[in-house]
Structure formats: C-alpha cells, structure tokens
Amino acid sequence: MSTIQILGTGSALPEQIRTNGDIEKLVDTSDAWIQERTGIKDRRIADGAAGESVASLAAKAAARALENAGKHPEEVDLILVATCSPEYLLPCCACQVQAEIGAKKAVAFDLNAACSGFLFGLQTAYCYLQSGIYKNALIIGSEVLSKLVDWEDRGTCILFGDGAGAVYVETVEENGRVWSMVQGSNGAKGMILSCKERDLTTPTPDLFIRMNGQEVYKFATRQVPLCIEEALQQANLTVENIDLFLLHQANVRILESIAHRLKVSMEKIPKNLETRGNMSSAAIPVLLDECNRAGKLHRGDTIVLSGFGAGLTYGACIMTW
Amino acid sequence: MLEKLVEIIEEQLNVEGVEITEKTDFQNDLEADSLDLFELSMAIEEAFEVEIPSEELSQFTTVGSVIEYLKANGMELPGLVAGSDVKIAPIVSSKRALQVILRYWKKHYDRKPDLVVIEGPKAGGHLGFSGEELEKYETENYDSVIEEILTLTKPEGIPVVVAGGVYTRQDMEHCLALGADGVQLATRFVTTYECDAHPAYKQAYIDAKPEDIVIVKSPVGMPGRAIRNDFLEQVEQGNRFMKGCRKCITTCDPKTVPYCITQALINAVEGRVEEGLLFCGSNAYLATKLEHVQEIMEEFS
C-alpha cells in the first residue's frame, strides 16, 4: 500500500528575541500573568532590515529540510507554502521559495488556512502524491505575524511569534504504515479570530489581528479532541497507540485542556511555545523539526499532528514517522 | 445539584482532599484563575446542557454562586413544582435563553413553560442584558428579538407576555400587533394612589427627567435601571454603605460591594429616597401626577 513519509525537516527562526519583560514596556501586563495564562516566556520577532521575511525564512527552512532528507532542490515536484502573512500577494511565497532554493522543476503555490495551514498543506500534498500526480513535496509553514499584531492590544500581542518550518515528503510503498486524516471548517464563526485586508468599502480599515480569546479557547479545546478521536477511529487506533501528539502551539492551557480531555499525559505532548509563542502555520513544522533533531522521533513511531485556528479551521492526521 | 457540581470541580480544577461546600471560593480556596473558571464554565455547560455567556463568568465567585446562577436561570424550576399544579413562566430576554430552557426542560423534565415573559431592555430594575447590549438596543429595535422568540413559542402554543417599556395603550397595541398575547406593566402603576410605596418614592418618579434615568451596575453583578440621586452619586464617588449582611444572595460579596442592595431597596420603598436605590422603568419620567388604577385600566381596555 502506498502512503507518504516525512523524510526531512527544517526550520528557521529570526535572531531577535522579544521577552515578556519587553512587552511589559509596551502594554499593561506582566511576565507572571503572561506565563500563567499562556505558558509563553519569549518569542522571536523578524527584523526586516536584516532581510528576515516570510519568504526568506521559508526558503531557509525548506533548504534545511531538503538537506536533512539528503535531497537536491531540483528533485522537488511540489512546493506548498502555508502562510497568512506573506510580503507579496503576487507572486505567491511558494514561487519566491522556488526561485530562492532553485527548485526549477517544482510547481509552487500558497494556501491559507491560518494555524491549520501547514496541516492542510500536508494533507493536500498527500492527495497529490497518493493520486500519483507527484512523487514528492515540500510543505512549508512560514509567518511574520509581528507585523499583523497590534502592539497596543495586550490581549493578542503577547501571543504571537515569527518563524518558519518545513518538511519534505515522498510517496512510499510499504505495508503497515498508518495514515488517516480529518479536516473541518466553520466559517460561521470566522470573525472570532480575524485580520482584515484592504478592500473597496473601508477607507481606513483596522488591519490588525482581532480575537475573541474565550470563544477561540472554547473552539480549540472542544474541537481538537473530537477531530483527533475521529482520526484515531479512522485508523482503528486508540490514544495508547500514539507515541507523540504534535499539536498547534497556541497556548499551554489549551494543550493541557486537550490532554485532559483525551486522557493523555502531557509527556506525550511536546511543546515549544515557551520560547516560540504562537507561530500560526509555522508552529507544527517547527515543533516537528525540533523533536526530530532532538531524537524524540523514531522511525516506526505513530504520531498525531493536529492544527486549529482562524477560519475557523481544524484538522488532524495520524501517520507513521 | 451540589454533588454533581463538586464532582465537576474536583475533576476540572484537579482538587483532592479539600472539602468543597457552597461557601468554597474558587479564587481564594481553590486557587483558580480566570482561565480555570472559564474551563469550569465549559464543563458545567456540558454537564448541565446550558449556555453560560462569558460576560456572566464574573458572577462565579463561590460554589454557591454557581448553584444560584443555575437556579436563577430557571433550569431546575420544573423540579421545584413537580407534583403540584403551580404554573411556571420563565422570564427571558433573548431567543437563545429560551432555546436553552426549552431544550433542558424537555430533556430532563419533559415539560414546557405555561407562559413566557419577554423582558425587553427598557424594563426597570435588574436587566437580563450586558451593558453593551443595553447600549445596542437603545438605538436598535428590540421588536425583531420579540419576533424571534415568538417563532419558538407559537408552534408550542405557549402564551407570551411582553414586559419592559410598556406604558401606554399604544405601547400595548404595538406588542399585540407583533404577536404577543399580553403585556406586563409595572412602572405605570407606581404613580397611582393605590400603590403602597412611600409618597416620596412616587414623587421621585414624577420629578424625574429623561436624563435622570440611568443604568447602574448593581452589587449582584447585573446592570439595572434606576433614578439618579444623591445616593448613586455618592456610590459613584466611591463611598461605601455597608452595615451588616442579610445573606440574601450568594453572588454578592459583602466585603467588596459598595452597598447592600436589599437595604437600598428597602430605603427607597420606605421613603428614604436620598439613601435608596430607586429602580424604575425607562418611561418613569412620563409620570406627571398621581392617577387611579381604574383610570389606567380604562385606558387599556
């Protein structure tokens, strides 16, 4: 039976660190409050003057994933970039990455599903590879959210960080490998987490991220366990069969609540948001890369990836590492 | 209900070996922060099949306050009157609130309301709206909400009475035209000879101008409508009027509230209007003189 396998991972983070202490100087908040409510201590912030951008971070992460997989850019068939904060509406970020890394043969395009973007990208790649259209793909999540954040809104500015992560996947023919996927969207609740773009009717739009934190919290803690359970059912597995749950890194309290609802120990739910914040589509691939390079992933492990975010969008997939 | 609640609290807040009673304070006794409380409210929503708007969370200080909240929302009302022929009539301000009650009563008691009272934003006293909603409805028409609620009651054959801001025959006719079966008046009857309130209380209504009628945040945590007076101005300036607690409502914290609501209401009724909280409907300023109940009834019939 054919399925897909992640053969390489990579990530790229901006140099600049912004601590909770730095944010204390911008808005009325405190390090203790932020840590208690979110689990975040500091986050990386891109420096445009130093050339750090969604495209450059994405290209770096992609090159590292290829290197990790031992592949050459010219072999790449498909490049998918998940982002909601590109520098350019045209050309798409994936084409900028293609040019930057020299993946001449690849077809490249972006998709936007906010914090579920990387997961949806991986699932889209799976469909292409499974149908035989392409043999391999680079899936990248890259964000510079710091430019979309209102640094005067203490409810949101403490949460986000910048960065990029990438994986390289190939079709594999091997029996006994697990794959199951669940995706969902709920546009009716979309405005609880939004960020407006210029349009024809609003002369001076509010172009920052706006969020109803409690509604988002409710959505995440209720929806994610449901979709993970659905993916488990599809794969005929239970939580005991899972070695690691790599979940979107939005808030440590959300992770704890999901662990509680799934009855899973936090030891099986790695986290990096302490020093990364919420990097939207980049969160899962960066976490994957960090776990991979730290030796926490072993070939044959069964892992769950699950993302959730603006849209609203959510999804889960279970795969053999 | 306490037993079920204790189970949820132990599970949700991870507390063991602590005796949980109605007096247990979430913040001080169980060290719960705002997110813990939010999680707890989600668990309660799931267990009791209710919906708790997030702006009402601030009322949850003790275990007792949660019980009070669930009771005050009428969820257990059918259980209280089971076996008797007492009629039950929930008062609601939104379609969602009625939806939740209908669903919960059907599932747990197989019963529906005998009558529904819709209390709109122009009513007096405590209001079932957030401060923001009250502002919204000052400019926006509440009629559409009444019509929405009627879509739930009509198919069930439940009669509906509209309250809040009904002062004249014209107001009543408007409500009946929307589809209501009846109206409820209160403010209009305060300024009658027959009303047993103190003459000074009635005079405060007669003297009130539109700008004197304001929304205040009551010590029980809900907004309410009242006539601005010396008492309210002193409260605004931060003066406290607490002398002993009557333990009337668990959502009230006698250590922090600026005044005792029961005492303030008694003061008003007994004529100490400058020391009292003068609850009134939004049309109270329309009264210019005392009238007889009979005159009002004639106007409305």
Q: Is the Cα torsion angle B178, B183, B186, B192 positive or negative in sign?
A: positive
A222 touches chain B (CB under 8 A): yes
Q: Is B139 on the interface with A (CB under 8 A)?
A: no
Work out how many CB contacts closer than 8 A connect A with B.
17
- Rounded to the nearest integer, the mean pLDDT of chain B is 88
Between A240 and B95, whose confidence is greater?
A: A240
Integer CA distances (angstroms), B220 to B254, B256, B257, in order = 10, 11, 8
Q: Residue B38 is nearest to which of A36, A214, A222, comparing CB atoms?
A: A214
Catalytic residue among A278, A291, A292, A317: A278
A217/B35 touch (CB, cutoff 8 Å), yes or no: yes
**pLDDT attached to residue A160:** 97
Looking at chain A, the whole-number percentage of residues with pLDDT higher than 90 is 94
Catalytic residues of B: 33
> What residues does each domain of chain B span?
2-70, 77-185, 197-286
Residue A282 confidence (pLDDT)? 98
Give the pLDDT confidence score for residue B69 in this predicted structure: 81
Q: Fold for domain A179-320?
A: Peroxisomal Thiolase; Chain A, domain 1 (3.40.47)
ipTM, two decimals: 0.77
> CA A178, CA A3: separation in Å to the nearest integer?
8
Q: Decide if pLDDT at B128 tops 80.
A: no
- CB contact residues (below 8 A), chain B span 225-244, against chain A: none
Interface test with B, best of A214, A215, A255, A258 (most B CBs within 10 A): A214
What does the pLDDT read at residue B58? 75
A22 confidence band (pLDDT: 50, 70, 90) = very high
| Residue A59, both tokens | 């290209």
Choice among A92, A115, A157, A317 that is catalytic:
A115
Active site residue A317: no
- pLDDT of amino acid B251: 65
Phi-psi region of A70 (alpha: psi -120 to 50; beta: other; left: phi over 0): left
CATH of B2-70 among 3.40.50.740, 3.30.930.10, 3.30.830.10, 1.10.1200.10: 1.10.1200.10
Q: In this structure, what are the phi and psi dihedrals at residue B94, rounded to the nearest 5 degrees?
A: -145, 160
- Is A217 within 8 Å of chain B by CB? yes
User: B54 and A221: CB-CB below 8 Å?
Assistant: no
Question: Could you tell me which residue, A314 or A204, shows the higher pLDDT?
Answer: A314
Q: Tens digits of per-residue pLDDT, A279-308?
A: 999 999 999 999 999 999 999 999 999 999
Contacts of B38 in chain A (CB under 8 A): 214, 217-218
What residues of chain B lie within 8 A of the CB of A37, using their CB? 33-35
Token pair of A152 as six digits: 């005067």
Domain ranges of chain A: 2-173, 179-320
A260 as an active site residue: the answer is: no
Alpha-carbon gap: A254 to the closest alpha carbon of chain B (Å): 10
Output the pLDDT for position B139: 59
Length of chain A: 321
More confident residue, B132 or A267: A267
**With an 8 Å Cβ cutoff, are B33 and A37 in contact?**
yes
Whether A36 and B33 lie within 8 Å, measured CB to CB: yes
CATH hierarchy code of domain A2-173: 3.40.47.10
Percent of the residues in chain B that have a pLDDT greater than 90, as a whole number: 43
If you average pLDDT over residues A192-216, what whole number do you get? 90
Q: By three-state DSSP, how is residue A15 classified?
A: coil
Chain segment B264-288, per-residue pLDDT in tens: 999 998 899 989 999 999 999 999 9
A residues 22-51 near B, CB within 8 Å? 36-37
Give the architecture-level CATH label for domain B77-185.
Answer: Alpha-Beta Barrel (3.20)
CA quadruple A63, A68, A74, A79: dihedral sign: negative
Q: Where residue B249 falls among pLDDT bands split at 50, 70, 90?
A: confident
Read off the pLDDT of each residue in A198-215 and give the average, rounded to a whole number.
88
According to the model, what pLDDT value does residue A98 have? 98
pLDDT digit string, tens, across residues A232-275? 999 999 999 999 999 999 999 999 999 999 999 999 999 999 99
**Residue-wise pLDDT tens digits, A106-165:** 999 999 999 999 999 999 999 999 999 999 999 999 999 999 999 999 999 999 999 999
Q: What is the pLDDT of residue B140?
A: 64
Residue A171: per-residue pLDDT? 96
Res B14: pLDDT = 82
